[in-house]
Chains A and B, each alone.
Chain A
Amino acid sequence: MPRTSRHARDVAVVAFAQSDHLRRTDELSEVEMVMPVLHQVLARTGLKAGEIGFTCSGSSDYLAGRAFSFTMTLDGVGAWPPISESHVEMDGAWALYEAWVKIQTGEADTALVYSYGKSSPGPVRDVLTRQLDPYYLAPLWPDSVALAALQAQALIDAGETDEPSLAAIGARSRAAAEANPHAQLRGPVPQGDYQVRPLHTGDCPPIGDGAAAVILAAGDTARRLCERPAWITGIDHRIEAHGLGLRDLTDSPSTRTAAERAGVFDAPVDTAELHAPFSSQEVVLRKVLGLGDGVAVNPSGGALAANPVMAAGLIRIGEAAARIHRGESDRAVAHATSGPCLQQNLVAVLEGDPA
């Protein structure tokens, strides 16, 4: 039994798979990119597509440059005879949340969650401006790096970090990614020029294509499918005011609230997989999650090593779960974000059964 579950049903991540994240994948359509990942994650449980109770995906039409783009990847899940399926126009971490709710209601015992993004076809910095307030922000086209840079400068002004400390975060992440064969950037990467000052190239995520998938299962089904299930003992997501100028960019109250509700602070964690696409955002997240030096932060390399948009948050949950599966972690926190400057945040606590 998980130690601290507070929900109607015990639900665990029982399998995780991800693609190699690459700068571009022109030779693959989206379904061609996603399908091997779906096959891998199913193979890890022995489940067939038709045995899955609920399927939920996350992706973005703006990345694909066309409407209803997610329907194309449904071909990869074997959607005939008809399946119970849903989609979120968000990172797959939110698709996982929907699937977790579905299992909590008792309407499914297993769920396949997948997400993907190809950033290579379009100018992703500009594409992401279309998610901003259409009245006051989007007409100015402030790109994702610019908005993160405003947050970084606010942190520097507040004395919470400086440029060398930020560079060290990028370097540590990419050094950790040397052990991650899927990561896009591994090992030493030049800190580079300013992209938008104070952020250098090395403070920014690589732009690339990739996909990820997890399988969730409840109770005894999870125990049957996985030797050491990664129980989701708490999960919550919160959002902050839309206006950037209304927010204290050095803080993330939505992450803090989500973490409290998910039970992060009830007991120590040994691992944190944080979705911090920019080095400066790790500074904020470490602070609000109260992560000490003893916690392994982004042992996978995190989003600074691979940031497939719409999949990078789901990958954080998957990486945290995989460490529990392997016995390398007993209690992990996973975080996903969406929107500018950590606007929306999801926090999950994952625990393995005691040895």
Chain B
Amino acid sequence: MTATVPSPDVLRAPLVVEFPFTRSLGPVQSAFLTGLREGLVLGVKTSDGTVMVPPVEYDPRTAEEIRELVEVGATGTVTTWAWNGLPRPNQPLDTPFAWVLVTLDGADTALLHALDAPGPESVRTGMRVRVRWAAERTGAITDIACFEPYEGPAGPGAAPHAGVFAEPVTGIVAPARLDYTYSPGRAQTAYISGLSEQKTIGERCPSCHKVYVPPRGACPTCGVATTDQVEVGPAGTVTTYCIVNIKARGLDIEVPYVYAHIALDGAGLALHGRIGGIPYDQVRMGLRVEPVWTEGGRYPDHYRPTGEPDADYDAYKELI
């Protein structure tokens, strides 16, 4: 096995991606999930009589729209299984369990879920199981807490169901969170490390000699690695700007303020930053600015006028 020890020189930080996907339901999925909330399992019957559980809205073989709902049993038969000795976060049970595909009594297709069983020896294909309902049900697949072994008579089979409920579930919110460890790579590590010393480090393309800041490791024009590190700035020139009139949530800056493109001296392209220390309506193209660092800040808080004369337009027109 290849070594898994991370390189000590590279920066890394936790990166959490979290999102609550809000999804609307069609008539069939709505009936199915509302049925789960009410403690019963619905499927759909295709034109050839196949009962699909969980239900789909279109026959995967013919693409015909399917709307004929039926109620099936909460008991069924395992068609295949896999023993999960080390449950992962968010899975239905936090103790070892079996993943199972279960064909419920009255259904012709199988539903994926978890089976609570004492160990792999107690699970086999063909074993009988029944739904264990969640204590609190909201209209989601997790209203089935899991399956459990069941020694009893088979259910009565599929029975017609109108699929009509009071207060049907019309949507689900599916929260998801993924935890990453982000590493910015060689070029951006050098840039971020430079900022910690209040230096702005760009990288020069060996082919076209343009200095990229922040560097991403490649010259997008030449498609080659940028390798030579170059300190740019600290002063620079406003190449263009805009006046922000809408306050962003959580941002402690009075509006209006100016956000500008700033070509640091020696850089081959402009980066962007806020302009402070001057009334917003006096900012102009060609204004000479320098970074202002706050105590413990990891990047310039804003840029302020240096007091030098404005740069000549020809000096920065290539960088707009």
Contacts and interface: CB of A to CB of B under 8 A. Distances in A.
Contacts of B125: 153-154, 157
A11 interface: no
B218 interface: yes
Contacts of A184: 2
Interface residues of B, number: 72
A290 interface: no
Nearest to A246: B109
B223 A197 contact: no
Contacts of A75: 216-220, 223
Counting from the closest, the 6 A-B pairs by CB-CB distance are A29-B185, A78-B223, A245-B110, A149-B82, A241-B60, A197-B83
Given A26-B12, A196-B82, A137 B217 contact: no
A122 B178 CA distance: 7
A312 B186 CA distance: 25
Contacts of B9: 27
Interface string B88-115: 1111100000010101000001111110
B187 A29 contact: yes
B1 A134 contact: no
Interface residues of A, number: 68
A223 B79 CA distance: 52
B178 A123 contact: yes
A139 B223 contact: no
B186 A28 contact: yes
Interface in A121-142: 121-123, 125-127, 130, 134-142
Contacts of A49: 223
A211 to B, nearest CB: 13
B91 A27 contact: no
A241 to B, nearest CB: 4
B202 to A, nearest CB: 14
A246 B17 CA distance: 32
B224 interface: yes
B99 A149 contact: yes
Contacts of B10: 26-27
A23 interface: yes
Given A140-B91, A245-B109, A189 B84 contact: no
A30 B84 CA distance: 33
Interface in B103-141: 103, 109-114, 120, 125, 140-141
Contact of A24 (B4, B83, B114): B4
A38 B82 CA distance: 41
23 contacts: A24-B4, A24-B6, A26-B10, A26-B185, A29-B186, A29-B188, A29-B216, A32-B187, A35-B218, A122-B181, A123-B178, A123-B179, A140-B142, A141-B91, A152-B82, A154-B79, A157-B125, A194-B85, A197-B84, A197-B85, A197-B120, A199-B82, A242-B56
B23 interface: yes
B2 A23 contact: yes
Interface string A180-191: 000011000100
A208 B3 CA distance: 11
B109 A140 contact: no
A199 B15 CA distance: 31
A135 B182 CA distance: 29
